[in-house]
Chain A
Amino acid sequence: AFYVSVLSVLAAVSIPAQQPTLSEAKFDELRALLTPDPQTMWRRIPWRVELLEAQREAAAQNKPLFIWAMDGHPLGCT
């Protein structure tokens, strides 16, 4: 932790005040990189986000609820 902390402070001291401007090519490259793959398993699970809406659906279909309860919203990370 001490080592990481020292590195972080050194990094902060040597930081340039500005990054080079972003080109359109870099813009396109990063947008593609930060677009999630719709086929990842996580995204194919049909999550509901309202518990009682899910309860009504579960009651109608006679299925149990699978509740993923987190600190912060679980769908906040892909």
Chain B
Amino acid sequence: MFELLRTKFIPVAIDQAYERRQKDAEGEFYRSIASQGPRKNFQGTTQGFYVATPAGELLLYNNNRDPEKVLRLTKKASVTFAASKSAKRATKPIASGKVDARYNPVPPEGGLVVRVRAKVLGGYVATSDRWRKAMQTALSRDNLWITQKEHAALVAGELPKKLMRRLTRFHLVDNTRGEPPMWQDKEVRKIAFERDGKRIRGSVLLRTEDGKRGYVASMLGFVEVEKDVVTRFDLVVNGEFWGEGRYTRNAPAGRFPFAVSLTLADGSDVADAIPPQASRGWVEGYFR
């Protein structure tokens, strides 16, 4: 699949919840492709795999998660394209034009992007189901955005409360099996962070009203600064999680070990450009 995508296609990964709503050239192009498939109602999800010509003619739509099936269909689409008229004529490139800012949030100028990864460290019942096994061993990925003001505070040796609360509410979540529920403000039962020079220590207790989901954890981190710029922001949060969300079913029963690791992004990973999951649709709320 890797060789096929690398050599025969231009692979692109997108959040369709944004693309189908965007009022700009990119949104129009996406809707023109998706509307040729079975998911034409743009009020609902259009999730799936699409293969299209550069002009936007749909060659394949599928929403199957079986890798063998996806590979077989993609190979077939590659052959279909090679034999088509589209493959023999030039296609006009489409300019991006003015982008819909609501669905194209960019990291704060002068701020920082921090990679966030999370992992369930145990507690699962062993399974032979390939899909479930992939979920059980998943390492999730998100980004934490830090504002210019918070960056300046970190340089000055401080630890902005707003930043640590954002980190806690939106990034100490179990997103290893799907889109997670974020912590509401009132679900942050205890939050204590302190900075001593380069070192940060802290602890949190998070729990829903009904007690069905929670996380109790301690944290150790290091911040380093050179010439008024944060050059290191490494944190590890480790503790016990329990419960699950609507889209993160099949968590281990009871309490399970769960860790989150944060480190500065350097732009070398394409995923560094992805907005934080919790900012979807309302960036202002993420920074509030």
Contact = CB atoms under 8 A, between A and B. Distances in A.
B45 to A, nearest CB: 6
Nearest to B27: A51
B77 A18 contact: no
Interface of B: 1-2, 5-6, 8-17, 19, 25-26, 29-30, 33-34, 45-56, 59, 74, 77-78, 81, 87, 90-96, 117-119, 121, 138-142, 175-176, 178-179, 190, 201, 203, 205, 207, 210-214, 216-220, 234, 236, 238-240, 242-243, 253-255, 259-261, 263, 270-271, 273-275, 277, 280
Given A24-B220, A51-B29, A67-B33, A5 B212 contact: yes
A59 B93 contact: yes
A23 B236 CA distance: 10
Contacts of A61: 10
A19 B217 contact: yes
Interface string A35-64: 110000100111111111111111111111
B236 A69 contact: no
B254 A10 contact: yes
Q: Which 10 A-B pairs have the closest CB atoms?
A: A12-B211, A34-B261, A69-B16, A54-B12, A22-B220, A58-B54, A66-B9, A56-B93, A67-B50, A74-B13
B11 A68 contact: yes
Contact of A12 (B12, B25, B119, B212): B212
Nearest to A17: B205
B243 A8 contact: yes
Most chain B CB atoms below 10 A, which of A4, A41, A76, A78: A76
Given A21-B220, A69-B47, 5 more contacts: A44-B6, A57-B10, A59-B91, A65-B52, A75-B270
Contacts of A18: 203, 205, 216, 218
B186 to A, nearest CB: 16
Contacts of A10: 254
Given A55-B93, A67-B49, A30 B261 contact: yes
